[in-house]
Amino acid sequence: MFPGQGTTGGEVSGEVREAVEREVGGGEVPYQLAVFASSVTLFYRLREAGVEADVVAGHSLGEYAAAHAAGALTLDDGVRLVAARDRLMSEASEKNPGGMVAVIGADPRAVEEAVAGAEGVVVAANYNTPRQLVVSGERDALDRALENVKGRKVPLEVVGAFHSPLMRDASERMERLLEEVEFREPGVPIVSAASGELLADAGKVKAALRAQMLLPVRWVEVVEKLRELGVREVVECGEGGTLVRMLRDFKGVEISGEKAGEVLA
């Protein structure tokens, strides 16, 4: 499993580091590219240690690393696309400011109803676990929508309202870049973070990446699909361990999880 935002700080080495340097030269590495590069480096280290994946999945940005890990996207194309994704989303965030708030312990239906009746741009963006839903949109609209919703509200440290209509311009520009890239048939299936569907051919992988910037992340459906497939152990290719910790909220799903660093130790 490949995480998205909030997972920088990992080692980047070998051919991944070389690919990043080809993209940025001596400049600063964009945030999303740093996340992608450290995740892919961990995946390479796992593969070198003999740990092979039967299926892969990525949360939001992590879908690009998952597509590469599955063999559907080359390293250089992945680096270039993720760097562009960072830039386009940052530009969209400056043009249409917003934020994201995690709601913990609330009934997801109550959150959806509050969002649906709110004024302004506000949507359910990340269905992370049965008890954690992230809402995204204009900051004033977020406050109004969640005012009467029970549960703990945690503002996320992100630069914009991701997976919301405020990203439309970035999404349309990203689609044009993706059209220029040739995707390969994946060697292992990818579980779509937008639907829980298995992406087993190149066309579906490309289509999923085209749509992901505006669609909500349905991680609950990802975990359910993994359970349905008989997965018993997952490894998170990231430093933070967020996706592994989220497994605790899934009652009756007997899937154990470890961070890549723990597996490699």
The residues annotated with a catalytic role in the active site are 60, 163
Helices (H) and strands (E) in the chain, counts: 11, 9
Nearest to 193 by CA among 166, 221, 167: 221
Burial readout 31-69 (b: 16 or more C-beta within 10 A, e: otherwise) = bbbbbbbbbbbbbbbbeeeeeebebbbbbbbbbbbbbbb
Report the C-alpha gap between 257 and 60 in whole angstroms.
19
How far are the Cα atoms of 70, 138, 159, 167 from residue 259, in angstroms, in the given order? 19, 34, 26, 31
Report the C-alpha gap between 8 and 31 in whole angstroms.
8
Would you say 122 and 115 are in contact if contact means Cβ atoms under 8 Å apart? yes
DSSP conformation letters of 113-155: HHHHT-SSSEEEEEEEETTEEEEEE-HHHHHHHHTT--SEEEE
Report the C-alpha gap between 162 and 219 in whole angstroms.
15
